[in-house]
Amino acid sequence: VLDSAAALKPARTLAVVGYQADAVKRALADSGCGFVLQKEQRGTGHAVLQAARAIGSAPGPLLILNGDVPALRAATLRKLVNTHERKAAALTILTADLDDPTGYGRVLRGARGNVERIVEQGDASAAERRVREINTGVYVADSAKLMRVLRKLKPDTDQGEYYITDAVHHLLGAGQPVAAVKHDDFSEVLGVNTRQELAEASLRLFRRRAEELQAAGVTILDRERTWIDPRAKVGRDTVIYPGVIVEGPCSIGTDCVIRPGCRIVDTKIGAGTEIKDYSVLFESRVAKNASVGPFAHLRPGSILEDGTKVGNFVELKKTRLGRGSKASHLAYLGDSTIAEDCNIGAGTITCNYDGTHKHPTELESGVFIGSDTQLVAPVKIGKGAYVAAGSTITKDV
């Protein structure tokens, strides 16, 4: 929601928090928005009033959004704001038609199509409940006019809550124009109230991102079983197989291949790289023309330079693998700096932990490490050194 709002370049963004306020603040810590505390949750109108002091007499329209509508597009908000300004309305409502509007407030219009009032589900008559046009809870308002009306409201529900929909009635009664923009894609404006709706909203976002990437030249073989974070970037002519999960603001270059079952989190991958089946990459960087997997694990801080290879059941943690170096199978490399053109044999372990502290391992260029070798850190292996299979190295070579 905040990303969509940010595309409109607002002068200021405020998040009204109440329930689990500290957790919400932590989640939005890097968003750049300010926070306003609503100690008691007494309705949407009350929530907006809590922000009145922070908003002050700021010029321009006030956009009011709910935090549980993740599929909302920036283009939809832009259209809403433009309509509001063009019609010089006191308040403009985003609406949509639903096949089953149960649970939503209905928008009632007059003979000329103008908004007459909004009636909540519980207060609607049988005829009003048959109305399919619903209030999505997204508004843009003349801030001063809305705040004046909200301050005059009295709670008229059993919960003692104040709603923005009540302000609509007061504005219309005072002769102030209230406009509505009906959106033709109801799935975009539906809120999340249950775990089922959360899953459906997530799938909409994943499907939308897949469609955008396909249009930009990315091959996604099965978009229904491929989850790519909307924040992720994927280069043209990359091929993504079913069962891939890309989380966070990842960057995947051009001409890559991501095989089935891979999970990629907060990671940057260079052009021409192949991530083979069932590999897991966390907070790592993989350069160009590299090969990872199958069944590899890159833990946070791993850096693979151009042309490197990390193969079957190899785990890296906070390790840099130099250009052209390879660890083809069954190795653990932790807290290590490995220069170019090194070969790490199967079963190699950098013993980086002494029970109290972590220690580094360094391999200079052209080193060959034979199979089943233990490198007991801190230790350094010099340029061109050859370590025979089955060795335990406790001193520098």
- Annotated active-site residue 169? The verdict is no
Residue 109 is classified by DSSP as E
- Who's near 223: CB < 8 A, 6+ residues apart? 206, 207, 210, 211, 214
Q: How far apart are CA 230 and CA 248, in angstroms?
A: 8
383, two tokens = 């340029």
The DSSP-derived string for 334-374 is ESEEE-TT-EE-TT-EEE-B-SS-B--EEE-TT-EE-SS-E
Catalytic residue among 169, 183, 329, 359: 329
- Who's near 233: CB < 8 A, 6+ residues apart? 249, 250, 251, 252
3-state secondary structure of 317: strand
Please check whether residue 283 is in contact with residue 303, taking contact to mean a CB–CB distance below 8 angstroms: no
188, two tokens = 């975009």
Catalytic residues: 329
